[in-house]
Amino acid sequence: MDDSLLTVKNLSAWYDGERKVLSDFSLELLEHEVVGLIGLNGAGKTTFLKVLSGLLSGFDAEGIWFQGRPARMREQSFKLCRYTVFDEDHSFQYFTSREYLTYVSHAYGKKLSDVRELVKGFGFERYEDVLLKELSTGNRKKCFLITAFALKPQLLLLDEPVRVQSTCTGRFPGIGNMGQCCFPPMCWKVLH
């Protein structure tokens, strides 16, 4: 656990008090490791991301540690170390992607890298000044992915990351050639 980026031990989560969506789920993630969660619909993949993102209070765990220290989902210090891209995110509807990038930059207290290569790689050039509410689900997700890759958080959480796979065609600085497959080979943790 000392050299782990994230350790989750025996996590259970629920939306109502009756039915657990996750039960005794454990995961250890090392620095720079990429892990994909696979499972049937309703297995708890998005629920797990909601717990780590501080959006679900219905959970219990033996422990959750980030860089060897207990993680508190809603603490500012942990919030600034992570960024989550959800499959269908309808927040910030009245922002353009440029405005959203500026907002995130200020919220995280980080100067974001030049995003032109990311914008080009995602084929997003003509959408930079369009309100997020006017974008398709796929293009909204591209905006959030561009933001995530520009932000370079220590912990990047992606819900359904390959849904935009067919529209990513370029090279992305610092991420490598993504070509037809947007994301590097992943180790898979199966939820059942």
pLDDT digits 0-9 by tens, 23-33: 999 999 999 88
Strand partners, 85: 158
Q: Are residues 105 and 39 in the same domain?
A: no
| Residue at 100 is within a domain | yes
CA distance 182 to 175: 10
**Domain containing residue 96:** 80-185
Q: Are residues 64 and 150 in the same domain?
A: no
CA distance 116 to 121: 8
pLDDT digits 0-9 by tens, 37-81: 888 888 899 999 999 999 999 999 999 999 999 999 889 999 999
pTM to 2 decimal places: 0.79
Q: Are residues 177 and 87 in the same domain?
A: yes
